[in-house]
Structure 1
């Protein structure tokens, strides 16, 4: 299945690898939340520009969330990703992981621990 291609980022014009090596070893972009339609994503972005675009889109969505809207938010119904991504799901503060609103929205419920970024 080796379909790795070298592409040029439409954002910063740097070169990067894109594609699946096998069904088990998929492209790096599959680790990110599936929040873009192909038509709106435009041409491929490098990992750094793609992460920035995800952060921007997620931040804009999170700003629309109220506790009432959080219960039926779109993030909870997205396909689950394997890993957490720094600056999207969490950030590190004084050596501690701080989960962001997006992480809590994906979980779908409040855990009751009075989390700093709990949308519920």
Structure 2
């Protein structure tokens, strides 16, 4: 997660939406994950790409993916990050400021899972 945010800053990405992969029903990805026993729920209300992980990732826990995605989104959409990126922007400055502030404000209303890549992961019961 940290490498992704650092890379976005390095290449001066103007804006990004960071979310969680959603294996939508009846897609090749869903069928493959289902065949591998990695679909965690069929509660379609959880297939939102933001607050729920509905499959078992191959190299991390669902909690780590959820918290890491939230951490990355908050880092990338922090006011300091927005200012830094807008100083390097090669495209429409005002449009990018408005879009990035929109992401920043949306994350304030998103809730806080409270992940830091430097801290130990909480247990599933704490989520």
Q: TM-score by structure 2 length?
A: 0.28
What's the TM-score once normalised by structure 1's chain length?
A: 0.29
Structure with a larger share of its residues in helix = 2
When you count strand as a share of all residues, which structure comes out higher?
1
